[in-house]
Amino acid sequence: MTTNQSPLLTHGECTMLKAIAMLMIMAHNFAHHVKGIVSENEYTLDPHRTTQLIHNVLHPDSHIALHVLSFFGHYGVPLFLFLSGYGLVMKYERDQRGIPSPLRFIGLHYAKLFKLMLVGLLCFLCLRYLNHKPVLPVNVGAQLTMVVNLLSEPWMRIQPGPYWFFGLMLQLYVLYRLVLHPGSNSRHWRWLGPVLLIAVCHVVQVVGMRYGGRETLYWMRYNALVAGLPFGMGLLAARYPWNAPHGRALGWGLAALAGVAVTAMNLRFQTWLVAPAVVVAGGVALVRVLPRWTHGFLLWTGTLSPMLFAVHPIARFLMLDHANVSHPQAWLLAYLGLSLALAVAYRRLLAFADTHLPQRN
């Protein structure tokens, strides 16, 4: 695909949106484990949690920030999924750089995910072992091969919990290369593929909930079905960029409206399923109007986001027990700071490995 039209998001805006998504995920993964904090509607919908959040916002206590971060933070995942689809098109379609064969493409992306995951997983498993909480070897093997999401009750098998995202991303890479990449003679598939992906994922979740219940839906949303809407939106946004309206007041207004809308959408099943679209729209509107003084930190954090994802469960494991005793907000800040420090060290370790270890061509 070639186009002279400017992309919807610049490279810098994508990096800053990655930072926002990563900070949301990190804060959520900590806050929702603190005792007494409102839980989220990530894998299934419980409207009572939404009414709890509304009550706490209208009658705020000292933990209001934790309530909000716990409830909304998981929406960093659809932002990442949107950026993943967007990035694949920009890399492999927009400039016609060509794309590797399916087997090589999948192998390269598996190796990238494996390298990112390995050291973090080993460190986490050591911490679990030292605290007399070992993980079954079969689950470790399934995690390393990134098929653990497909097994029964993956939420009971994946350690650390956030690493479910690695298996999900591998599924999306396979899906993109085998199904969604348009090829050279598939002009209509550029829009039809993502539209069908969005529609099929939505319908299957509705049917799964109706006939299989909450546990079936829970399993589905550990896999590629949860990604259909934001990932498909990312593909379409990169293939068919549009000139989004500018204006600081408009951008902040749209971002605020998205927050209110998503809260209301968490009261009904059908609207809850499409809430990630509103999150993506709000995120795109927000990142285009952020004040310049935030750019440096967000650009730096965005470049660290892969390493942050790999190491933040380690920092959480070390600090979460303290947060459940006293001063959870202070421990949240300490956890974020430790995660950033570990991510910097992890990036240096990966750079050292790339420089000094033999590389396969």
The pLDDT of residue 90? 93
Q: Average of pLDDT values for 129-145?
A: 92
Contact between residue 279 and residue 256 where contact means Cβ atoms under 8 Å apart: no
pLDDT > 90? residue 245: no
Question: Which ranges of the chain does DSSP label H, i.e. alpha helix?
Answer: 11-31, 47-58, 64-72, 76-89, 102-130, 137-144, 154-157, 164-175, 189-220, 228-239, 248-265, 269-287, 295-323, 328-356
Residue 1 has pLDDT above 60, yes or no: no
Q: Which two tokens stand for residue 221?
A: 């949303």
Give yes or no for residue 361 having a pLDDT over 80.
Answer: no
What pLDDT band is residue 273 in, cutting at 50, 70 and 90?
very high
Q: Please report the pLDDT score of residue 186 as a whole number.
A: 74
Residue 246 binned pLDDT confidence (cut-offs 50, 70, 90): low
pTM value? 0.94
Torsion over CA: 256, 261, 264, 268 (sign): negative
């029964």: which residue's tokens?
Answer: 152
DSSP annotation of 90 reads I
Mean pLDDT of 78-106: 91
For residue 195, give the amino acid letter: V
The span from the CA of 17 to the CA of 230, in Å, is 14
Share of the chain above pLDDT 70, in %: 95
Residue 251: pLDDT over 60: yes
Please give the Cα distance from 64 to 83 (Å, whole number). Answer: 29
Q: CA-based angle 361:91:301, to the nearest 5?
A: 95
**Residue 343 pLDDT:** 97
Torsion from C-alpha of 209, 214, 218, 219, nearest 10 degrees: -70
Taken in order 328, 332, 338, 339, the sign of the CA dihedral is: positive
Structure tokens at 336: 């974020």
How far apart, in whole angstroms, are the C-alpha atoms of residue 201 and residue 153?
Answer: 20
Domain chopping of the chain, boundaries:
11-356
What single-letter DSSP state applies at residue 291?
-
Q: CA 17, CA 15: separation in Å to the nearest integer?
A: 5
Q: Please tell me what DSSP assigns to residue 331.
A: H
- What's the rounded Cα separation, in Å, for the pair 237 and 6? 11
Query: What is 314-328 written as a DSSP string?
Result: HHHHHHHHHHTTS-H
323: which residues sit within 8 A by CB, 6+ positions away? 30, 33, 34, 331, 332, 335
Span 305-337, pLDDT tens digits: 999 999 999 999 999 989 888 899 999 999 999
**CA 206 to CA 141: how far, in whole Å?**
32
d(CA 348, CA 22): 19
